[in-house]
Structure 1
Amino acid sequence: MLIEIEVMMLVLIFVSSFLCSASSYKPVVLVHGVFGSAVEEFANTFEKWIPHEHPNTTLYPINLYEDVTSIVPMWTQITKIRQRVASIMARHAQGIHFLCYSQGGLLCRGVLSSMDHNVDTFISLSSPQAGQYGIPDIWKKHIGFPCLKSSMYKILYKKFTQKILSIANYWNDPHHQPLYRKYSEFLAPLDGTTVTPNLTEFKKNFLKLRKIVLIGGPQDEVIKPWQSSHFGFFDEKENIVEMKKQKFFLDDDFGLRTLYNQERVSTFTFRGLRHSDWYTNRTVFNKSILPFLT
């Protein structure tokens, strides 16, 4: 009888240990970038690295709007991704993490700002959080943009273009701010740059985050300016205005200043990395991603 009790105790200890291990790390939702896919960007990187370092972590790579379909409008994508994320959240009451790359970082921000969520940490990996003003070669390759960024507002600041092209939704021309505020259907309202009745909800939801991690670097040839990955951006003379001097930060329009003042914003800068290096570089992963996936 004593032996049977000892065996049962060992089994209970083993099961308890397994359950604790299985639930010790929050699930991670992975969102890919423009013209990318979940398999291309994550299958051989985060989907292998995270479980190796944090066993039993559940991963959810979002395989929606991949490749060329990633250029449909931001709110269109967010609506569908939000439905997928809601079902994930329903299975994980303890909370989840967002790890989102490039345009995916803006999609994730739109998702968590527009819903009642339980996202613990939002990791924005080389994402144009303050907008984009520059034409990467990959854009020219896929959709044949003209070469002059100075002329893009003529195409992108139109109601028609805003309703068909994701890039138009966060194109932020520092020389045509009145047009940006008038036509931007995504980033300007999300930042509070344009008055919107949804801003109160955006801010309330944004402030539910425990932590936001912003990652970028000066050799990124796609995010222009690269400081946009840290919520910095150009002024009208194309000088960089850092995050803490941005109007949306100073006015705390969507809660970024509150998070910063509460030490809930972490920024990381890595030199020598091109845009496609971010999700393949183990140093970036080890120093600025893994420590926050607890």
Structure 2
Amino acid sequence: MWKQISGFAKVIRRIMEKSPEGVHLLCYSQGGLICRGVLSKLQNHNVHNFIVLSSPLAGQYGVPDMMHEYIPVSGRELVYLVCYKWFAQRHISICNYWNDPHRRVKYLKNNNFLPLLNGEKAHSQMAAWKKNFLRIKKLVLIGGPDDDVITPWQSSQFGFYNRNETIIEMRKQTFYKKNTFGLKTLDTRGDLSVCTQSGVKHVEWHSNQEVFEKCIQKWLD
């Protein structure tokens, strides 16, 4: 994921230079995490509204419905055996945001991407990344209960499982309460919008007219 962020940052920087009045950033699925990384690491960016469509912002802990024929739901319990190894962290994107709620210690110790991005694991760039991220004017989080890929779907709105697989919503997450990367600041200043839309499968978010009209359009005006 860090390699992808580096590549996207170069492209996005060129777009920003051609649009000094500012840009909106609309990112989908894994792309939402890539864009988050870009916004955290890119100094002096001019992104106004950051709109995130069904992205595993708090992590992924599930096998997409389309893969149940090959990997049973219970198979997710074993994914950490691969994903929390150094070679997987370097070469397999999903492993960088695989968040096993039953193996919190291993997640924090061995995952070299999401715990850093969300400030769950302290590092020397936390303050700088937070400052960069907070340059945005609005954060728009879009997701819904019929998404058949992002698991839990609430991850698209910074909610996630606890060890009992009960959903802990965004404002009760430690990274929100400690304001590790600026999420609470955005919420406090009124610059956080959450839009939930039912009946939308994962591959439909970017082409669903109702999602566009209800959740996206007003932020592009």
TM-score bracket relative to the smaller structure: over 0.9
> In the alignment, what sits opposite 1:124?
52
Q: Which runs of no fewer than 5 residues in structure 1 stay unpaired?
A: 1-73
Quick one: distance in 1 between partners of 2:71 and 2:183?
33
Considering Cα pairs closer than 8 Å and 6+ residues apart, tell me whether 1 or 2 has the greater RCO.
Answer: 2
Q: Which runs of no fewer than 5 residues in structure 2 stay unpaired?
A: none
1:95 pairs with 2:22: yes
> In the alignment, what sits opposite 2:35?
108
Identity over aligned pairs, percent: 48
Partner-residue secondary structure (3-state), 2:91 = coil
1:81 pairs with 2:8: yes
Shift of 1:115: 0.7
Quick one: distance in 1 between partners of 2:207 and 2:180?
34
Quick one: distance in 2 between partners of 1:222 and 1:196?
30
**TM-score, structure 2 as length reference:** 0.96
Alignment deviations for residues 204-251 of structure 1 (CA, whole Å, 9 cap, x no partner): 011101000000000111000000000000001000000000000000
Quick one: distance in 1 between partners of 2:121 and 2:96?
13
Partner-residue secondary structure (3-state), 1:81 = helix
Q: Give the letter aligned to residue 48 of structure 2.
A: D
> In the alignment, what sits opposite 1:54?
none
Q: 1:126 to 1:279 in 2, by over 3 A?
A: same
Between Structure 1 and Structure 2, whose CA radius of gyration is higher? 1
Instruction: Select 2:175's aligned residue among 239, 244, 248.
Output: 248
Quick one: distance in 2 between partners of 1:93 and 1:276?
33
1:175 pairs with 2:102: yes
Quick one: distance in 1 between partners of 2:67 and 2:57?
18
User: What RMSD in Å do the two structures reach over aligned CA positions?
Assistant: 1.4
1:278 pairs with 2:205: yes
> In the alignment, what sits opposite 2:120?
193
Shift of 1:165: 0.6
Q: Give the letter aligned to residue 3 of structure 2.
A: T
Alignment deviations for residues 113-154 of structure 1 (CA, whole Å, 9 cap, x no partner): 11111110000000111000001145679xx76751111111
Shift of 1:91: 0.9
Show the 5 A alignment for 1:43-62. Answer: none
Quick one: distance in 2 between partners of 1:237 and 1:188?
20
> In the alignment, what sits opposite 1:44?
none
Instruction: Select 1:291's aligned residue among 189, 198, 218.
Output: 218
Quick one: distance in 1 between partners of 2:200 and 2:68?
21
> In the alignment, what sits opposite 2:133?
206
> In the alignment, what sits opposite 1:34?
none
Quick one: distance in 1 between partners of 2:16 and 2:96?
27
Quick one: distance in 2 between partners of 1:284 and 1:77?
27
Instruction: Select 2:152's aligned residue among 215, 225, 231.
Output: 225
Quick one: distance in 2 between partners of 1:164 and 1:146?
23
Q: Give the letter aligned to residue 64 of structure 2.
A: P
Q: 1:145 to 1:185 in 2, by over 3 A?
A: farther
Partner-residue secondary structure (3-state), 1:132 = coil
Shift of 1:80: 0.6
Shift of 1:254: 0.2
Give the number of equivalent residue pairs: 219
Partner-residue secondary structure (3-state), 1:168 = helix
Runs of 4+ in 1 over 4 A off after TM superposition: 137-141, 144-147
Q: 1:138 to 1:162 in 2, by over 3 A?
A: farther
Shift of 1:96: 0.5
> In the alignment, what sits opposite 1:158?
85
